Amino acid sequence: MQCIIEFINRNAYITIAITGKNFCYAAKEGFGIVWSNPLRFGALAGVGRALSFVGNLLIVSLSTISFYLIIQYTPFNEKIQNPFLMTAIVFVISVVISMVFVYVFSAAMDTILICFILDEQVFKALGGTSSKPINAPPEIAELFN
């Protein structure tokens, strides 16, 4: 239940940022956007999870390995008694930092998709005959269609 509420809140806040409407309207609108485009959001969720996993893995592994190499092959090596403890601390810090970066990246992906869908809806409301959006760059329009 909490997962559903967080999902609705996230889409509501994105819709508020785009449209400037109140929370209740934005929650209804955000849920309607997701409900009317399940394949797009499903594909974005799958790609997003894969990119999040790879991003977390790269950030954590590269920062931890580079820290370990720096403390092993620099003049600081003589002064450090336990390099594994320091490496473990860097590992924990890099996990937290990577989670923050990946969360922001995920929010940006959701925002771009919602902007694209709202752009399509505005084009249709103005009398457009196709689902081609007005303001989206051609590369993004081609990717989402």
- Start-end of H helices in the chain: 2-19, 23-36, 38-72, 83-125, 138-144
pTM above 0.85, yes or no: no
Query: What's the mean pLDDT in 105-124?
Result: 84
Q: Which residues contact 121 (CB under 8 A, 6 or more apart)?
A: none
- What confidence category does residue 145 fall into, taking pLDDT thresholds of 50, 70 and 90? low
Sign of CA dihedral 57, 59, 62, 66: negative
Residue pLDDT, tens place only, 10-48: 888 888 888 888 888 888 888 888 888 888 888 888 888
CB 120 within 8 A of CB 131: yes
Give the pLDDT band of residue 97 (cuts 50, 70, 90).
very high
